[in-house]
Chains A and B, each alone.
Chain A
Amino acid sequence: MSSERLEVRGRHVDGAPVVAVRVWLRGGSRIESTPGQALVTGRLLTEGTAQRSWREIATAAEGRGMALAAFGDLELSGVAIDALAADWELAIDWSAEMVLTPAFPEERCAWAIRHAQGELASLADHPEASTSWAFMDQLYSPHPAGRPPQGDPASLASLDRLACRRFHERALAGGVIVTVAGPIDPAAAESRVRERFSELTGELGEHPSPPPPDAPEPRRDWPVPGEQAHLFLGRPTVARADPALPALRLLSVVLGAGGGLSGRIPYRVREREGLAYATHVDAAAGAGLDPGRFVAYVGTSVGSVTRAIECVREELATLIAEGVSEAEVEEARAYLLGREPFRRETARQWADLMAASVHYDLPLDSPEWVVERLRAVDRAQVEAAAREHLDPDGLFITVGAPAT
C-alpha cells in the first residue's frame, strides 16, 4: 500500500459531458468505535462546512444539476460528485471544501442520527434486506461487516458532533484518495486536486484491525413480515487481493452469477423446480480488505424452504464431487471477459475503478491486468476453489420467514 497521505488519479473519458469526482477516506465502520459512526460522519460532510451551510451547498449544487453524495460504509467514507463536465473545477473545489473543512453542525448531526434510526426501522419492514443483515450478523459478528452501516438505534443515540469530528480526523489520517474522470485534461485535474488538498501532508496514521468474526451458529431463523421465506446460505471466502479470487469469480458464474436464468443454482431452483422467482449466487460477495463470502439467496414459499436448501446443497455437492467441465469454465471466462468493457463505459465507473485500484493496491483499472488474471485460471484451480470454499456441509444458513 502507498505511504502517501494523498493519492490522486485523473483520466480522460470520452462520451457524455459528465465529470465524476471521488474522494475516498480510508476509514469506514472497520475503524469506528461506535456502530454507525462512519455512516453519520460521512453523511455530515455535505451538511455544512466552515464556508457554507447545508442549504447553501445543496442549493448551489442543484442549481448546476450536480449530484452530491456523502457516505460512510464498511471501509471508507467520503464524497462522490457527478457534474456536468463544464463544472469540473467546481466539483474538485467543492469536494475539497467538504472533506477538509466540514463543520459538523450540532443540529445536522442530530438529524443525521435520527434519519439513520428511521432507515433502520424501514429496513426491518423489508424482509429480504432484514434477513440479509441477519445472515451477515451470523457470518461476521462482531466484525463490523456483520452489521448495517447505521449500527443500531442505541449506538446511534450515543453519537454526537465531537465523536463525528474525531472519527473524521482519524479517517483523514488514514489517507485520502481523489479521482477525477471525464472529458478533462487529467494533468490539469490532478494539479488542481493537489493544490486544493495541499494541506494533506505528513505521516499516514495506522488503523487497528477490526475484531475477527466469532464461529457462526449453523442455522438462524429470523422472523420477517409478509408471507414469503428468504433463504441465505453461505460462508466466508477470501479477501479482494487473494490469489483465489479469480477462480471464485469463475465459480460464481458457473453457479449462477452470469445473468439471466443460467448457472447451476438458478437453473435448478427456478427453472427445474419452479421454487423461486428471485435467486442469486456469488462466491466472493463483498470481498474487500477482509474476506467476502459465498452466498446463495432464494426467495421462496415457506413450504419450499427445506427443498430449496436441499437443492443448493445438492448442487454444491455435485460440483465438488464431479467437478466442472472445460466448457463451463470457458463459458464463465468468456462471460466475465465480455462484461469487462461494460464496467468501463462511463466517467463515473472510471472514477470508482481508479479509486478502488488505489484503495486495494491492485491494478483494477487496468483492463489488461484483469483479463490476464482471468485467463490464467484453469479448471483445476476452479475445482480446488470449490473444494476449499464451497463445502455444502459447512454452509451457514439464515431463514427469514413469517413467525408462526
Chain B
Amino acid sequence: MFKGSGRYAAGEIDRRTRELGGSNNAFTSHDSTAYYFSFSSEHWLEALDIEAERMDDLTLDPEEVDRERQVIEEELAMYESDPWDALDKAVHRVFFDDHPYGRPIVGKRKTLGAIDAEELRSFHREHYRPDNAVLVVAGAMGAEALARIEARFGDKEPGAPARRALPEPVRPTCADRVERRQGDVARLLLAIPSPGADDPDYAPLRLLLTALGGPRTSRLAAKLVEDDQLCVGVSCEITESTEPSMAVVAAELLPGVEPAVVEERVQAELARLLSEPPSTDELDRARRILVADWVFGVERIHQQALAAGLAVCLFDRDYPERHLARALDATPDDLARVAERWIRPRQSSVTGWSLPE
C-alpha cells in the first residue's frame, strides 16, 4: 500500500507525507487493518487523495512484492529473537489451534514464500472497497469535510463480500502447556479464554483482571512483585477482539526464582478470584484506573480518530461509551459472576513458559 499506486510511485506516499510535515503508518490485527495519517489541518486532503487512490489503483509491482517479502522475513526474525514475542506466538498457536486468531499476523516463512503479486491483487480487489472500510477524520477539517470525502469516495464501487463468519474459537479443553528455551530469564504467559469485546461480560472481566494484575496494589503485583519479590513485573491483559479470544497473565521472573513457585502462586490467585472476589474497594480502584486510562488514551486527536475507527470497524460508533458504561455499572456480583464463568485455568488454559537455555 506504500509501494506505488496511480499517481504515487513507490516511496512517494512517504515522501509526500514528509514534505507536508505529516506522518503515516499502518498496522494489522487479527480483526482489521488500519492506515493512518496525521497532518496539520491545512494538509489533510492529501491523505484523503492517497487513500482514495490506493483503494482502487494499487500498483503491486512483482519486484516490489519480492523485496517486501525479504523485508518481512527480517521482521519475522526480529520477532523470533524477542523472548516475549516468541512465547506469545507459541501460546497463540496452542491456544487457538487452527483458528485464524492462532496464526501469526506477519505470516510464516512458508506461506510468505507462496504469496505473489497476483494473489495480493486479488485480496486487495476483494476487500479494499468502500463497503468494507471505515474512514475517520478528526480535527479541524472544516465545514466542507463531508462533501470533500464524498467527492473522492462517492463513486467507488462497493462489492466487498459479506464478512466471512469465523469458525467458533476452540477453547482449550484442558490445562495445556507449552515450553520453550530462550535467553537467561524465565517468562510466564498464562492464557485463559475471554469473551469478544462487545460481550456484556467483557467490561466486568476487564475490571476483574485489573484488580488481579493491574498496577502495584493489584493482587498479583502486590504478591509476586512488591511483597514476595519473585518477579520483575507482572501484568494482565485482555484482547479486544470481535470474537471470543484470550486474556493473559504475564510474569517475568527474577534470576534464580523457581518457575514452579510463581506458577503455583498465579494459580492460587486465579482461584482466589472465585473464592474471594474483589472487594468494593478493589472494584472502585479498578474502575478508577480504567476511566483514567481511557482519558489518558484519548488525549491526542490521533488517538481519538483511531479509537473511533476501530469502534466502527469492529462494532459500532457507540461501542466505547457502551464499554465504559458497562465498566462503571459493574457490581461486585458481576465480577463474581464473570470470575465463575471465565476463570477456569485448570479446565481451560494454556500455560506458556520461556525458560533459560
Chain A residues in 8 Å Cβ range of B293: 65
> How far apart are the CA atoms of A125 and B72 in the complex, in Å?
22
> For chain B residues 169-213, which have a beta carbon within 8 Å of chain A?
182-185
Most buried by B among A64, A83, A274, A336: A274
Chain B residues in 8 Å Cβ range of A227: 77, 80-81
Residue of A nearest to B253 (CB): A118
> For chain A residues 122-151, which have a beta carbon within 8 Å of chain B?
122, 124-128
Contact assessment for B82 and A63 in the assembled complex, using a CB-CB cutoff below 8 Å: no
What's the nearest-Cβ distance from chain B to residue A116, in Å? 9
Chain A residues in 8 Å Cβ range of B67: 271-272, 274
Residue of A nearest to B281 (CB): A63
> For chain B residues 292-346, which have a beta carbon within 8 Å of chain A?
292-293, 295-296, 298-302
**Contact partner, B40, options A17, A330, A338, Cβ 8 Å:** A338
Chain B residues in 8 Å Cβ range of A118: 185, 232, 252, 254-255
Contact assessment for A259 and B24 in the assembled complex, using a CB-CB cutoff below 8 Å: yes
Chain B residues in 8 Å Cβ range of A261: 2, 11, 14
Contact assessment for A125 and B285 in the assembled complex, using a CB-CB cutoff below 8 Å: no
Contact assessment for A59 and B217 in the assembled complex, using a CB-CB cutoff below 8 Å: yes
> How far apart are the CA atoms of A275 and B78 in the complex, in Å?
12
Residue of B nearest to A342 (CB): B38
Beyond A262-B18, A300-B74, whether A84 also contacts B215 by CB under 8 A is: no
What's the nearest-Cβ distance from chain B to residue A86, in Å? 11
Residue contacts A-B, CB under 8 angstroms, 12 given:
A59-B217, A64-B288, A65-B295, A67-B296, A114-B229, A117-B255, A259-B18, A271-B10, A271-B67, A334-B19, A338-B40, A339-B21
Q: Is A119 an interface residue (CB 8 A)?
A: yes
Most buried by B among A17, A65, A115, A341: A65
> How far apart are the CA atoms of A276 and B217 in the complex, in Å?
42
**Contact partner, B215, options A62, A83, A262, Cβ 8 Å:** A62
Most buried by A among B183, B252, B291: B183
Contact assessment for A228 and B74 in the assembled complex, using a CB-CB cutoff below 8 Å: yes
Contact assessment for A341 and B229 in the assembled complex, using a CB-CB cutoff below 8 Å: no
Contact assessment for A58 and B255 in the assembled complex, using a CB-CB cutoff below 8 Å: no
**Contact partner, B298, options A16, A122, A226, A348, Cβ 8 Å:** A16
What's the nearest-Cβ distance from chain B to residue A349, in Å? 9
Contact assessment for A262 and B11 in the assembled complex, using a CB-CB cutoff below 8 Å: yes
* Extra A-B contacts (15), CB below 8 Å, given A114-B229, A127-B82: A55-B226, A62-B288, A65-B288, A67-B292, A82-B296, A83-B292, A225-B183, A260-B13, A274-B66, A299-B74, A299-B77, A300-B74, A338-B39, A338-B43, A342-B302
**Contact partner, B185, options A59, A122, A267, A275, Cβ 8 Å:** A122
Q: Is B83 an interface residue (CB 8 A)?
A: yes
What's the nearest-Cβ distance from chain A to residue B191, in Å? 21
> How far apart are the CA atoms of A121 and B21 in the complex, in Å?
40
**Contact partner, A62, options B77, B254, B285, Cβ 8 Å:** B285
Contact assessment for A226 and B80 in the assembled complex, using a CB-CB cutoff below 8 Å: yes
Q: Is A369 an interface residue (CB 8 A)?
A: no
Chain B residues in 8 Å Cβ range of A347: 299
Most buried by A among B2, B70, B71, B298: B71
> For chain B residues 13-32, which have a beta carbon within 8 Å of chain A?
13-15, 17-25
Residue of A nearest to B286 (CB): A62
> How far apart are the CA atoms of A300 and B73 in the complex, in Å?
10
Q: Is B271 an interface residue (CB 8 A)?
A: no
Q: Is A15 an interface residue (CB 8 A)?
A: yes
Q: Is A331 an interface residue (CB 8 A)?
A: yes
**Contact partner, A260, options B24, B68, B292, Cβ 8 Å:** B24
> For chain A residues 27-85, which have a beta carbon within 8 Å of chain B?
54-55, 58-59, 62-67, 82-84
